[in-house]
């Protein structure tokens, strides 16, 4: 990251010096452009990610995990997906970091230093599921625009911070408050300082939940830069875009927050089912809130080969937004029949739940093991991709792995 900053501030002459040769046509190169040869060479080292992670985009950085990398009960940093909308902030000084509270529905505008937030409010730790609203987008047809996430834009780390509701109680909230919007230090890809890359939020009832945190630790350590250092919102069970990173301002609104990526097709889906490829009017769209029930087989890796008579131990995670997962099943006959799997209780509300099963196969050949979760309201995962929507959100179709019995 230091090298990137250095290059952006350098002159063409200095860039040529770094490269050891003239940059032909350098005079017409965009002012803020970093030559490929000088770009950060290894994003896996830069973000401390496992080399099996898949880079979907580098402007902005979007990096996905794979199902078999997510087998840990608590997701370590090296396997956590990165979803950014703008440029990661640089030159962060946590000793000088402040969070300002304002908005139409605040009693009195207040600014806290990070140190004051840490010292004046009680700390809490929860394990919380964060999933990109577009996780599984790659399976929609017609294809939806955006990063083509497969199954790995989900994580469940432990987050330590202060309850947002404790701070709201301290600053005072008017009775007409309906929504909370965040603002952050990341910058727009265009470089235009008047534009925010993203500014979303949550309704007040979600902001007041005991698990909704202003977090400053992830898995017991400072939050990695790519995940929101030095402080971020964490609103588990909702699309991860509601959990803003690098927070420096929170607005308490008397309207539904109207920040960047709160309107249009962004994190919104049709209120009613539509045919694939349909153009949906804005009035017929709704904001995504709680994520749907879903599960992921994380062991073994798809493509396992066994001999006849061997039992296959499978394991994975299941989650259901605001709800608890009540049942977990697997199928080896493309969903014709289902067998119950063992399902653990969550360590706390909004954490994913582990499941496991011992699977037997009747004869040699190719099989697919499918997993299906059911939430506390009786909603189960669909066996096929659910309702099409313009941006390919909320794909909670059953996950499956391939197995060969020889």
Query: What would the mean pLDDT of 21-26 be, rounded to a whole number?
Result: 79
Enter the DSSP assignment of 327: E
Q: 3-class SS at 255? A: coil
pLDDT tier for residue 36 given thresholds of 50, 70 and 90: low
pLDDT value at residue 146 = 92
Q: How far apart are CA 232 and CA 90, in angstroms?
A: 15
Q: How far apart are CA 132 and CA 399, in angstroms?
A: 16
pLDDT value at residue 153 = 98
Q: Say if residue 2's pLDDT is above 60.
A: no
pLDDT tier for residue 7 given thresholds of 50, 70 and 90: very low
**Helical spans, DSSP H, in 152-285:** 164-171, 204-207
Pairing state between β 232-234 and 179-184: unpaired
Q: Say if residue 149's pLDDT is above 70.
A: yes
Q: What residues does 313 pair with on adjacent strands?
A: 358
The least confident of 10-19, 259-268, 325-334 is 10-19
Enter the DSSP assignment of 346: P
Instruction: List the end-to-end C-alpha distance of the chain, in Å, as a whole number.
Output: 49
Q: Say if residue 14's pLDDT is above 70.
A: no
CA distances, 37 to each of 4, 12, 262 (Å): 11, 14, 37
Q: What is the pLDDT of residues 97-138, one digit of tens each?
A: 999 999 999 999 999 999 999 999 999 999 999 999 999 999
Q: What is the pLDDT of residues 356-405, one digit of tens each?
A: 999 999 999 999 999 999 999 999 999 999 999 999 999 999 999 999 99
Q: How far apart are CA 315 and CA 299, in angstroms?
A: 5
pLDDT value at residue 91 = 86
Q: Say if residue 19's pLDDT is above 90.
A: no
């Amino acid at each position: 990251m230091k090298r990137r900053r250095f290059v952006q501030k350098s002159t063409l002459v200095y860039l040529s010096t770094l490269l050891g040769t003239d940059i032909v046509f350098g005079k017409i190169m965009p002012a803020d452009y970093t030559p490929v040869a000088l770009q950060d060479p290894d994003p896996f080292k830069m973000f401390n990610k496992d080399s099996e992670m898949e880079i979907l985009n580098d402007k902005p950085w979007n990096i996905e995990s794979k199902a078999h990398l997510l087998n840990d009960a608590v997701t370590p940093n090296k396997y956590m997906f990165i979803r950014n909308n703008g440029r990661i902030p640089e030159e962060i000084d946590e000793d000088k970091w402040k969070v300002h509270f304002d908005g139409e529905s605040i009693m009195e505008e207040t600014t806290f230093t990070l140190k004051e937030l840490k010292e004046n409010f009680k700390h809490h730790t929860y394990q919380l599921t964060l999933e990109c609203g577009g996780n599984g987008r790659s399976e929609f047809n017609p294809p939806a625009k955006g990063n083509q996430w497969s199954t790995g834009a989900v994580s469940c780390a432990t987050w330590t911070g202060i309850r947002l509701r404790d701070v709201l109680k301290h600053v005072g909230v008017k009775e007409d408050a309906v929504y909370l919007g965040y603002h952050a230090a990341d910058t727009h890809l265009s470089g235009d300082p008047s534009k925010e890359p993203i500014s979303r939020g949550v309704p007040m009832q979600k902001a007041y939940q005991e698990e909704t945190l202003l977090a400053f630790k992830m898995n017991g350590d400072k939050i990695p830069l790519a995940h929101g250092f030095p402080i971020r919102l964490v609103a588990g069970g909702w699309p991860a875009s509601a959990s803003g990173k690098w927070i420096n301002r929170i607005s308490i609104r008397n309207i539904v927050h109207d920040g960047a990526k709160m309107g249009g097709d962004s994190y919104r889906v049709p209120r009613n089912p539509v045919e694939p490829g349909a153009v949906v009017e804005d009035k017929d769209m709704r904001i995504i809130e709680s994520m749907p029930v879903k599960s992921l087989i994380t062991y073994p890796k798809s493509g396992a080969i066994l001999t006849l008579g061997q039992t296959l131990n499978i394991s994975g995670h299941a989650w259901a937004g605001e709800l608890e997962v009540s049942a977990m099943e697997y199928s080896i006959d493309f969903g014709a029949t289902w067998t119950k799997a063992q399902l653990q209780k969550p360590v706390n509300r909004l954490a994913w739940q582990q499941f496991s099963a011992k699977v037997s196969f009747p004869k040699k050949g190719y099989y697919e093991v499918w997993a299906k979760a059911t939430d506390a309201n009786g909603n189960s995962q669909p066996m096929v991709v659910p309702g099409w929507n313009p941006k390919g959100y909320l794909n909670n179709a059953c996950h499956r792995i391939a197995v060969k019995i020889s």
